[in-house]
Structure 1
Amino acid sequence: MLNQSVSRATLRAAQAPRTCRNISSRTLRSQVRTATHPYAQRRQQHFVRSVATVTLLGATATAFQWVNGESFLREGHAEEPPKEEEVELKFEAPRRQAQSADENRSIISSQHLQVQKSWENPGVYAWGSNTGKTVAPESDERYIKTPRRIRYFDGKLLRDVKLDRNFGVAIDERGDLLQWGTAFSPDVTEPTKTLRGLNLRSLAISRDRIIALSSSGSVYSIPVSGAEQKEGPKPASTSWIPFWGGSNDISYRTRTPENLGWSERVTEIASGLEHALMLTSTGRVFSFASGTQNFPSKGQLGIPGLSWENRPAGAYDMPHEITTLKGFPVKKIATGDYHSLVCDSEGRAFTFGDNTAGQLGFPFNAEATYVDAPSLLPTQKLYAGSGQQAKVSNVFAGGNTSFLAVDATRPDSNRINADTWAFGFGLTGQLGIGRWVHTCPDPVKVAAFSGLFEWDEGNNSVIPIRLSTISVGASHAAAVMDNVASVAVSGRTNKLTHNDTNWGRDILFWGNNEFYQIGSGKRSNVATPTYIQPLDQSAEQERAANAAGVKALREKEMHRFQITPRQRVRVNGRMVEFEQKVECGRGCTAVFSAV
């Protein structure tokens, strides 16, 4: 039976078309066996039934979708756009409408709000190291990372403030001295009045003493320690009332030079850790020892050869005139920890004292680490080949760093380039030149404060942007620019529109940030001058909430601290002229309302 089937298959293969005759006999036999196997026939039948079932189900599903008006293609891949009446348009939320012109100004301008708040809420913001209870007397926190108000000074105006990590001092509006911090008294948790009735005007601090200048030109040296103030010798007080005498309850020494002219008086003071300088109204400079622990020994007094062993008879801290500067009427003075700078009315600068980091502007000499006589800085070399004439307009110093503000002009042009030069120690960025430099004896231009100009709308001309001041701490600094400010909106707004706003002066910070003294909230050092956030951050957040609809990028650009310039405004029902000032101390910083 099997043989007959194979014979028939072979016969049909022989009769097949020519194209099929190349199939091998082995393949043919395999096909014959598969076709004649009983199980193969069953699999073919099952396959046919499966295909028929799937086809039937597919046709049913397609018919169902067709009846319901939907397409398989639309279901899986495409979406029909919604009908126009179903589209819901979302518009940007409108800005809250201001209820007054001043409220409108606060909404549209962060700078205006800062100026307004500084007038409405005068006081002191402080930040940095709090190990000595200086920046937050009532707190046990070691660091205050961002500006925080000292509650005691809320609503108060001050004449001056100076800060150290272990103590703080201030002069109130009446001219009385206030002190706080652990170096003053570990039990005091808020500023306390100490020296009264001398009408003090400005302050300088050494390692352990306070140097104070009165409005009359008298200079006083007061110990920082409250215990020493009580136990030390007290000067006899005088009174115009007959037989009214006694002793002052605070120990202090008067250090006003004795050989001043008839109308000559001290107009400015500055102090390092161990020495202090006094500038008189005639341009003379005096120096004296301002510390109790050590006598100045690094030439910072500017008296050649003066030492503890050969000092003249009398008190160790008696004033000495720096006679080397005679004939050079000095107009500005500055002191670092162990060095000094002065500049005269002709734009010449002199330096003396310690030079281990090049802070005098001269190369370091291992055989002579300090210069004990004022030496002229060759500032004209800074502009060699440019044809510009350089005049030093101001000097600044602190720690082991120094700064010069220079006006550079061409003889054939009236245009002035206002530049700032830095030299000295800069390992933690305190030179502000964008680099970390261990020693820098050659002055380097600070790009952030050099060659800047702006348009003065009042004079319709381009003017240079000069430095207003630099407050230099032990290892960080802050610069206030003398850019054009606006404080016209101060109550008399009859000639102003609702969009006229106030703005202050730019202030930038840089240097060491170990104790968060930069105020950025971060601890990294800053080698390039930078802005920080506004002092009253809660007010800024409220303004941002009211100004809904302003783009985030614009908000970020507007959020920077600007310091308020001097203006006469109403405070607590009286008209007072005051401004904001910045003070960089040893590891801490303060901004205060200054009369």
Structure 2
Amino acid sequence: MSSRSLPASAVRTLTRSRRVPLSQFRSRVSFSKARRISHKASDYAATHQAWKRPSAVIIAAAATVALVYTTTQFRAVQAEAPPSDAHEIVIEKSKKRKGASKEENRDLISSQHLQVKKSWENPGVYAWGSNTGRVVATESDEAYIKTPRRLSWFDDILLRDLKIDRNFGAAVLENGDLVQWGNAYSADVKQPTATLTGKNLTSIAISKDRIIGLGKNGTVYSIPVSKADQESGHKQSDSSWIPFWNSKSSISYRKLEPRNLGVGERVIAISGGLEHVLLLTNSGRVFSAASGTEDFPSRGQLGVPGVTWLTRPEGRYDMCHELTTLKGFEITKLASGDYHSLVLDKEGRVFAFGDNSSGQLGFDFNPEAPFVDTPSLLPTTRLYQGTNQSSKVTSIAAGGSNSFFTVDATRIAGQDEDPNSIPTLGKVTADTWACGLGIRGTLGNGKWTHIQGTPTRIPSLSGLFEYDEKTQKVVPIRMSQISVGSTHASAVLKNVTYLDASERSSEDDTNWGSDVLWWGGNEFYQLGTGKRNNVPIPMYIRPLDVASEVEMGRKEEHRLHLTPMHDVRLKGSGRKVRMEQRVVCGRNVTAVYSAV
């Protein structure tokens, strides 16, 4: 109902929740309840005392003269055309349709609600970027896929993990089986094919020519990318549930086995570059190993001083090396670029090692020592020197020749400050920092820097706040996920989301998900903008399912939102699962997938 249809004595105002752009610090306008404002006739004149009536007559006469003068002058001014910058008040028409259901009207009034709904009803994979390896569009001869395109093989399929390269793709199905596709796997196979099965994989990492898979029990597998190598290589004996009965594996693979693990200690996370892989145990220890067969990692990315192909210890080329210099530090997170590595401990300290030719380790480039082969502490506290803020790194990400860090900076009292006089004492600001190669805009700071050693703040992803209606407080907006490809990156914001719209709530009650932004190299259309120019500042792209937006009659631009983790009952089977949408940036390609 519009305000024009209400009686003059009452005006109803409804304030819809909407998101403010990042440039305005993304403050959320809260829902306000419908309120009715009524204007009653004043009885002030009836209470006038008699002795005030003469003065009232005089005032009335003066007002009449003033009214005549003002009216004359007003008409004189309006004899000319109104100024060109005059803004006409336009009342927006309701987007709802008569006779439409509650859910249909929600789809009409909110693009975000429609995106959440589609992600639940039609889980799957969207991909875009370089298609020279037939990874993004398996049966298409197009060299580039400029905007998100759905991979039909993954329709209604949930994944545990997904990694893509311009030459091959690899995914872990909901049951833990590995599937592969792309020309590097086999030019003759057009659709994803199950390869390593029955190992209950939870996550994968990829190198130039191998896939590293982590089993739920902590076993780490190294599988050739090529179908031909899988078939021709040595096949191990797989144990069976039948006692004393073993069988040969259907494909060739190797196991990466860290030595001297403690009782109950197992690998819980992996991260890999083009030639190496890092392994993290539940005790906080880190191991590294060669992950490819083409080149041995010799740029310090293993974190073992002096190790090269010629100086490596006797044994397998892909044996696991413990990073003994990290003893005493409980490591919680790993990140890997092409030729460098990052680890984060539970106290928020970052250690970096490997190639530093672009400053990706967070240290200034030294031409006499282009790489660092020993884990070195990154002095992140210097980034906040003189700000009266205490900093702690909360997450790390890496890819290509770039590294990213998210930091919680807490306001503290300075030496000469009285804590009781600081209203913002204890206030937390969430910042995002980047270092490394910036010539394609991958630093996200708006500059085209060749080499960036000292981490630089990303303004669009730092110092963001919003109002949380549940806690009724202003809270910092952190990053939920940062995915980094060879030259581009994406960030999913951990903004306040809402997924509780139901049949019992009003038709104005709509769901919304997480904001996601993209920046960096775009020569292969990997940003999904439909254009080819590199972008040095994080930006939005259009929704994955543009056809659904057009069907709703939306001509204006709307941005992509990703659905966060939530319990969902699948439409087809009726099975209840806990799922979300995730982003993965690869080598000149990008994908969004439905994950469990």
**1:463 partnered with 2:475:** yes
Residue of structure 2 aligned with 1:434, choices 446, 451, 454? 446
2:315 counterpart letter in structure 1: G
**Deviates most, 240-249 or 382-391:** 240-249
User: 1:240, 1:130 → 2: CA distance?
Assistant: 42
Distance 1:240 1:92, change over 3 A: closer
**1:506 partnered with 2:515:** yes
SS at 1:210 equivalent: strand
**1:524 partnered with 2:528:** no
**1:474 partnered with 2:486:** yes
Question: C-alpha deviations, 1:290-331, integer Å up to 9, x for none?
Answer: 111111110000001111112112111011110111111111
SS at 1:437 equivalent: coil
2:139 counterpart residue number: 138
Offset, 1:261 = 1.6
User: 1:500, 1:245 → 2: CA distance?
Assistant: 58
The structure number with the bigger radius of gyration is 1
8 Å Cα contact 2:97-2:105 kept in structure 1 = no
User: 2:379, 2:94 → 1: CA distance?
Assistant: 62
Distance 1:237 1:386, change over 3 A: same
1:50 counterpart residue number: none
8 Å Cα contact 2:167-2:182 kept in structure 1 = yes
1:258 counterpart letter in structure 2: R
Offset, 1:381 = 0.7
Root-mean-square deviation (Å): 1.3
User: 1:93, 1:386 → 2: CA distance?
Assistant: 49
SS at 2:202 equivalent: strand
TM-score, structure 2 as length reference: 0.81
Aligned residues: 492
2:313 counterpart residue number: 312
SS at 2:319 equivalent: coil
User: 1:174, 1:95 → 2: CA distance?
Assistant: 42
User: 2:375, 2:235 → 1: CA distance?
Assistant: 35
2:101 counterpart residue number: 100
Question: C-alpha deviations, 1:52-73, integer Å up to 9, x for none?
Answer: xxxxxxxxxxxxxxxxxxxxxx
1:257 counterpart residue number: 258
SS at 2:444 equivalent: coil
**Deviates most, 368-377 or 263-272:** 263-272
Residue of structure 2 aligned with 1:421, choices 407, 418, 433? 433
SS at 2:450 equivalent: strand
1:535 counterpart residue number: 544
User: 1:420, 1:92 → 2: CA distance?
Assistant: 40
User: 1:366, 1:418 → 2: CA distance?
Assistant: 34
Distance 1:107 1:287, change over 3 A: same
1:509 counterpart letter in structure 2: W
8 Å Cα contact 1:135-1:144 kept in structure 2 = yes
2:428 counterpart letter in structure 1: I
8 Å Cα contact 2:208-2:292 kept in structure 1 = yes
2:416 counterpart residue number: none
8 Å Cα contact 1:329-1:345 kept in structure 2 = yes
Question: C-alpha deviations, 1:134-187, integer Å up to 9, x for none?
Answer: 000011111000000001011111111100011000011111000000000000
SS at 1:544 equivalent: coil
SS at 1:254 equivalent: strand
8 Å Cα contact 1:98-1:104 kept in structure 2 = no
8 Å Cα contact 1:428-1:527 kept in structure 2 = yes
Distance 1:133 1:98, change over 3 A: farther
- Runs of 4+ more than 6 Å apart: 91-94
User: 2:566, 2:456 → 1: CA distance?
Assistant: 35
2:565 counterpart residue number: 566
8 Å Cα contact 1:477-1:584 kept in structure 2 = yes
Structure (1/2) with the larger helix percentage: 1
TM-score, structure 1 as length reference: 0.81
Question: C-alpha deviations, 1:429-448, integer Å up to 9, x for none?
Answer: 11111111100101100001
Offset, 1:95 = 4.7
Q: Which segments of 5 or more consecutive residues in structure 1 lack a partner in the other structure? A: 1-90, 546-551
SS at 1:541 equivalent: helix
User: 1:464, 1:144 → 2: CA distance?
Assistant: 36
Question: C-alpha deviations, 1:550-579, integer Å up to 9, x for none?
Answer: xx7xx43xx000011011111121111100
Question: C-alpha deviations, 1:81-140, integer Å up to 9, x for none?
Answer: xxxxxxxxxx97985225222111111100000000010000000000000000000111
Question: C-alpha deviations, 1:315-371, integer Å up to 9, x for none?
Answer: 110111101111111111100000011111111111100011011111111111100
2:10 counterpart residue number: none
Q: How does 1:22-421 map onto structure 2 within 5 Å?
A: 95-97=96-98, 99-412=100-413, 413-421=425-433
Q: Which segments of 5 or more consecutive residues in structure 2 lack a partner in the other structure? A: 1-91, 414-424
User: 2:241, 2:567 → 1: CA distance?
Assistant: 35
